Structure 1
Amino acid sequence: MTTPPPNQNDIQNGAGSSPPRQQTVALVDDDRNILTAVSIGLQAEGFATRVYADGETALKALLENPPDLAIFDIKMPRMDGLQLLQSLRAQSALPVIILTSKDEEPDEALGLALGADDYITKPFSQRLLVARIRAILRRSELVRNPPEDAPGDEQAGTIGRGRLRLDPARHQVTWNDRSVSLTVTEFLILEALAMRPGVVKSRNQLMDAAYNDDVFVDDRTIDSHIKRLRRKFRSVDPEFAAIETLYGAGYSFADG
């Protein structure tokens, strides 16, 4: 017998001892059966969970008290998952997985274009969901908890390209010494371009750099990420033009 999780509250893992820093996953879905099942499954894997039954309530909570990762269903009342993602991305780089149905392929592409880090098609296995969550958290954990004793720029492997500075260890980006907040996916695309300035990277190569092998995205999704990257950099420098397009071939980073 399962008991529905309390709405809008943390659900704590019942284990007697907790790890040094328990990671938290927020679930947003209007289906309480899914919230209950997924919450119980994630707790069994050592996660703490928070649950929200609508997008409007979730958005406020996610911004005020961010978890480590959020999972959104697309079809919800008041504010659907794509609207929630778009509103969240205007203010946060929180890692996000979206849940879609088999007949919602356009929503999958739009969700990735809007900045989702991954998507999972319903029905899904708990094992798959946990694997995807852990893969994203491995890439993004240092965004929230940069090491205090990490060595200096060059020793830490910081990438300097003209006015751009990328710190993969801390997942930090600056342009002209001004911070630029990127999602995990955006960071990986930018890093792939900056590693070899002047070399044109095809959309397929950028997809390989940014997504897991079992995530398939449309070429236009990479184009959308590039547009978002340019927009973010132009918010700190209106003259930013370091990401160049070679039509029909791909993108490159101009080191200068």
Structure 2
Amino acid sequence: MSVQTACRQQVEFGNQLWIVVNIDQNSFAINALDVHDMVAMPPLTRLPGTEQYLSGTINHRGQIVPLVDFRVLLGRKSISETAESLCSLIDQRENDHRNWLDQLELSVKEQREFALATDPHKCAFGKWYDSYTTDDLVLQGLLRKFDTPHRTIHAIAEKVKKYEIAGKFEAAYTLIEQTREHELSVMIELFAAFRQIVREQTRRQVAVILEHEGAQVAFSVDAVDAVEELSAELITDAADVFPVEWKNWIVAIGRRSKTDGLALILDQELFFDLAARVDPSDG
């Protein structure tokens, strides 16, 4: 797919300023002249019977403004769905480690082999932990705190089995219980803090409000990154930069002046076209 196919109109860069926003760890930009305001996400009035990407309406300074969930429009989960999906996964990984210690204890009582992962990198949480990335500095710091207690929990399997072989069953049970009270308790607290931060992120969204000839429409973004100049970026194959299904929303590709990264230029007319499908009086 050529960039001419992907981008439907010519974009004048020059000395123009652009609002660069982040949506699901992708950088998008919209002409600053089209942006009326940017506000922390206000309360949302849901509208029945509308497309999923039409979140509803917000009240901005007394005006009812349709809100487009651009994540959903791009074929991604909404930020609230993404957060709850991640929290559900974390619930499962917490229960895994409760069960891990229960099964280790049971293996001693039944004097059988312990079948669960003893390598901290091979349990379900370890595989997720080693591959998960985030730009959120708070989450990065929190995730680092998991490493020591998680490794310690898995390390006791070998010690417990040595106690079992030596007939020191009480020592094995004591070590398991101490691990529950200390390392597992620490991990449970970290899991709870992780879920809280993830859910709080859904309340940090920003509504970018566009205005044209007196009409307003808003779209939700995860964060506003910068206001900066962009330079034209000539891309032979736009499919290398963004999924082909996004081609209706992207009108050009710009090179960022601050990070040298790419930003996908959004078509502001798209949002007004979508907003025309909403009857604010329904709210």
Quickly name the TM-score band, shorter chain normalised: under 0.3
Normalising by structure 1, what TM-score? 0.20
TM-score (norm. length: structure 2) = 0.19
